[in-house]
Amino acid sequence: MDHDKYAVRKAIKEDCESIQRLIQELADYEKMPNGPQLDPKTLEQDGFGTRPFFEAFVAVEKESNQIIGFAFYFFTYSTWQGKSLYMEDIYVQLQHRRKGVGLSLLRSVSQVALSENCVRLNFSVLNWNSPSIEFYKSLGASDLTEKEGWHCFRMNRAEIEQLAQCKA
């Protein structure tokens, strides 16, 4: 990364409006423009309230002082190996890619994982996103669908509510 042009730092509450804008850019890139349901206030509450559900780094272009990228993460636990970190999303605006910004964000997340003694850094990549898949593989990441056959599943709110009401 060109350290004269960019800086990576921990996100603060005041960054949430810019982060929300970038989340929408990411959704547009991932061909899911109607996906994001969060406003900046929700991000503030969920990330900087009394019980934070995520932490984040932001990349800032020094000249403009604009946030041009982010990496969201949170801690999980592996019943097989222990402490883990899950990177929910990483994004860098298109015009700032291939300048080391994404790598610097990912390196910052990996440093947190090591400082917390995590044994895993997990994340997901859309199957059509070949540039990202190749980038992560070049860093030593394993595609768990290829290697171990793991598939990711999700239950949305309606399914959670339905399941919670079931009587055994």
For residue 83, being part of any structural domain is answered with yes
For residue 124, being part of any structural domain is answered with yes
Query: The tokens of 105 are what?
Result: 């964000």
For residue 101, being part of any structural domain is answered with yes
For residue 130, being part of any structural domain is answered with yes
Element (H, E) at 69: strand 66-78
Residue 168 has what pLDDT?
Answer: 58
**73 belongs to the catalytic site:** no
pLDDT band at 166 (very low <50, low <70, confident <90, very high): confident
Q: Is 150 left (phi over 0), alpha (psi -120 to 50) or beta?
A: beta
For residue 18, being part of any structural domain is answered with yes
Q: What is the pLDDT of residues 114-149, one digit of tens each?
A: 999 999 999 999 999 999 999 999 999 999 988 888
When divided into structural domains, the chain yields a total of: 1
Residue 70 has what pLDDT?
Answer: 98
For residue 162, being part of any structural domain is answered with no
Here the CATH number for the domain that contains residue 113 is 3.40.630.30
Distance CA 91, CA 69 (A): 5
Is residue 23 a contact partner of residue 36, using CB atoms and an 8 Å limit?
A: yes
Please give the C-alpha separations between residue 125 and each of 81, 138, 147, in angstroms, as whole numbers: 22, 14, 15
For residue 166, being part of any structural domain is answered with no
Residue 18 has what pLDDT?
Answer: 97
Distance CA 165, CA 142 (A): 38
The residue type found at 10 is K
Q: What is the pLDDT of residues 41-93, one digit of tens each?
A: 999 999 999 999 999 999 999 999 999 999 999 999 999 999 999 999 999 99
Domain carrying residue 90: 6-142
For residue 158, being part of any structural domain is answered with no
